[in-house]
Copies of this chain bind each other. A is one copy, B any other.
């Protein structure tokens, strides 16, 4: 009974202070105390209380103090959860359980080639190391020669001579690096395209090759500049202070290379900020996240995305626009979910675990890209390792050489488009250019959202954020997934035999 009274008392306190009823009802507990007092009762006129004693506006009327809408955020979360649970029930009633561990058909050959590539690809990094060893040797002897001739003045002739020499040896080094790095990418791509049928294994191999390719390039470029700084100390800006503990050519050693090989970055530095010790508990939690999220993504794609893609084929083949839009809309939620899980698993969980093991200090693998109001900022925040590489080794040098910044940016997107196409088109054995086109399509989009952001202030920001989400997660991704799945089916699937006469397929095969 005491709890009954207690909770009831809280009614009075829960009434907003602006409500005059609060002061009136503040006396509601008194009668409990003076229950027998008859005079109290007689003098209280409860029925005449002035409920309406002042002018007040409705909350939602324009001009009133805007109330908080945090409850509607909670409601949105709930509706999303409930409506997707409902779709899961519908899916289950329609298809039953589609998840199956033993149904995955990858060939024996795929695994063998995959393992081979896993072992072979890093070799190119070691070849780059050997090239750099030679270059360092050459630089040391050049430095010794210069010191010997140190008494001579720095005439313009000797300076020009030194530059010529340096440029010549750089060209030789660059040639070897270029051959090495290109072979890495060409061999891997060829093996994945012709010998690895399974798109999952193929993607992993291609991703590995691209990562090592980017690392080799960064290793070569960075050491070129370090060498130049060593040979021409007067012409150079001071190097970053953090490098002082390991000056060139001392950084060209096997241990330093191995650290770069495993460090969660694509940008070579002789020295990185390091943490003091490894927190193994942190590593374990991050790895658990990776495993858990991978299972979730696998279930989502096997149980939900796969049948959806399968029964999208008919609409796509008969070129029924409304049906295609409806399928893309349905696909968008599941692809968005997989994307968010995959992003978290890779950029938060996996890279943080790897960084912890490597005692790598700079964990800024991504920014808060979900808030971006401009597509441009999205591309510079969602994937910091690649952004850092592109900015340091492509964008800045091009601008330094006199390219207009906009052109340098287009160059970056061009390279990025090629890499995306390699990553998606090659493992699915359909280099149809959709991934590349998607990247190039970002350039006009950037101009659009840049303008929007400037024009309208806060509304422009929300609009920019919406455009980003629509183009990227709700249209771009599911549409691309559908097209590559369609291409795959047209090449290997049963659908191609079934619908040989479809106009869309004819159009597609004629290309």
Interface residues of A (CB under 8 A from B): 1, 3-5, 7-11, 14-16, 19, 21, 24-25, 28-29, 31-32, 35-36, 39, 41-61, 67-80, 82-83, 85-86, 89-90, 93, 163, 218, 221-222, 224-226, 228-229, 232, 235-237, 239-240, 242-243, 265, 267, 269, 272-273, 275, 322, 325-326, 329-330, 332-333, 336, 344, 347-348, 351-352, 360-372, 374, 376-377, 380, 388, 391-393, 395-397, 399-409, 446-447, 450, 462, 465-466, 469-470, 473-474
**B68→A368 contact, CB < 8 A:** yes
- List 6 A–B pairs whose Cβ atoms lie within 8 Å, in order of A's numbering: A11-B380, A42-B235, A68-B368, A73-B73, A74-B466, A82-B332
**B47→A393 contact, CB < 8 A:** yes
In the complex, residue of chain B having the shortest beta-carbon distance to the beta carbon of A60: B348
**B5→A61 contact, CB < 8 A:** no
A419 CA / B55 CA spacing, docked (Å): 29
**Which has the most chain B C-beta neighbours within 10 Å: A29, A58, A67?**
A58
Q: Which residues of B contact A393 (CB under 8 A)?
A: 46-47
**B48→A225 contact, CB < 8 A:** yes
Q: Which residues of B contact A237 (CB under 8 A)?
A: 43-45
Q: Which residues of B contact A19 (CB under 8 A)?
A: 364
**A352→B78 contact, CB < 8 A:** no
Q: Which residues of B contact A163 (CB under 8 A)?
A: 42
Q: Which residues of B contact A243 (CB under 8 A)?
A: 48, 50
Number of copies: 2
**Which has the most chain B C-beta neighbours within 10 Å: A44, A52, A53, A402?**
A52
Contact of A222 among B47, B365, B388 (CB under 8 A): B47
A346 CA / B5 CA spacing, docked (Å): 35
A16 CA / B369 CA spacing, docked (Å): 12
Q: Which residues of B contact A388 (CB under 8 A)?
A: 21, 51
**A10→B450 contact, CB < 8 A:** yes
**A348→B58 contact, CB < 8 A:** yes
Known: A67-B368, A405-B28. A49 touches B14 (CB 8 A): no
A188 CA / B360 CA spacing, docked (Å): 78
